[in-house]
Amino acid sequence: MNAGSIKITLVQRQLREDWNNREYAQVVSDNIRHIADFLCNFELSCRSKIATLSDKVSLLERKVEFLEARVSLYSAFVERLNDSPPLHLTREVVPIISANKAQSRTNMLAVYKEMLVHFIHLLQER
């Protein structure tokens, strides 16, 4: 072997090692990029799910507040009824004639609302 061929093989080996190192660095870089993409997508997914859960919790909180207010109102109503003499409500009942189920429901709700308004009015007079 002469000095020229030793230099060529040394240069070729250095080039091969350099390319191998570059390829390894590229693989590592690609894997890091894939991990970063996954983490970004995971974060977006989690944020979306947390926002959805937050909306559901807010809705449930509003429902609980509404129910607490209704219970409080009902409790006050019961106390007021217990403190006052018994109420006797009488009303002449007229048959409701309806052509279909929807009309029947509407007519019944109207009667119920009328009785409720009358009942509340009587309670306010006390």
Please name the amino acid found at residue 5: S
Residue 37 in tokens? 């993409």
The residues spanned by each domain of the chain are 1-60, 87-126
pLDDT tens per residue, range 72-111: 888 887 787 777 666 566 667 677 778 888 888 888 888 8
pTM of the model: 0.47
Model confidence at 2, pLDDT cuts 50, 70, 90, reads: low
Provide the residue count of the chain: 126
pLDDT tens per residue, range 20-74: 999 999 999 999 999 999 999 999 999 999 999 999 999 999 999 999 988 888 8
Output Rg (C-alpha) for the chain, integer angstroms. Answer: 40
Please name the amino acid found at residue 51: A
Count of CB atoms within 10 A of residue 108's CB?
A: 12
Please name the amino acid found at residue 34: H
